[in-house]
Amino acid sequence: MEAAVYDIARNGEGVIIGCGSQMLLRDFECAFHVRLLPDFKLRVDNLISGREMSRDEAKNLIAKYDKNQKAFFRYAFQIDLDTPGLYDLIINLGKLKKRTIASLIVEAVQSDDIQSCSLDALSSMKKLSLERKIHAELLENNIDVRTLNIAMPETGSAEITGVIVSNEEKGRAAEIVKNVNGILYVNNQLSVLPYHL
């Protein structure tokens, strides 16, 4: 998911809904973060329409969804989803019509105030995307990544440091990283634990 966010952002002019993009892209001046505050009553009405669901069931379902979303965000990023500093623009959906909201966002994004992504920013996003892809591949192949560090010192090159449980896993981890699309060279600096903890 994180790699996809960086890839979409790097391609420019994309809209990313959720996925923690306000955190993942917070250090990039060319990203513009909007928080849309939904009207609870409207959400309940929308959920009820066309469904056999009571108002109380709809309220409970929405409350549970919101609670789970906030809990995941806090778990993934150690910050509250509702922190105002994560957003450049916050809009109350209960006050404005959709056309007005869309116009506000488009006008803000197209203003001279929002910078284009520099070449350094685009390069950083590419490296971050590759790091996240490597991390995902290692996890998918049952490599414990909690004690590993992945760095991208230059384009096409990955460096893995940290500790791993065996020489076999050390070699396997390097092979997994090397097979990630976009990686040409792996500097394997993993240390093997002398015994299992």
Convert the pLDDT of each residue in 82-140 to its tens digit: 999 999 999 999 888 999 999 999 999 888 887 777 778 888 888 888 888 999 999 99
pLDDT in tens, 143-165: 988 899 999 888 889 999 999 98
Q: Please, what's the b/e burial string for 40-76 (b: 16 or more CB within 10 A of its CB; e: otherwise)?
A: eeebbeebeeeeeeeeeebbeebeeeeeeeeeebeee
Is the Cβ–Cβ distance between 132 and 6 less than 8 Å?
Answer: yes
Both tokens assigned to 11: 């391609």
Q: What structural domains and CATH numbers belong to the chain?
A: 2-110 (3.40.50.300), 125-192 (3.30.1340.30)
pLDDT digits (tens, 9 = 90+) for 47-62: 998 788 899 999 999 9
Which residues, at least 6 apart from 123, have a Cβ–Cβ distance to it below 8 Å?
155
pLDDT tens for residues 59-74?
999 999 999 999 999 9
**130, 183 contact by CB (below 8 A):** yes
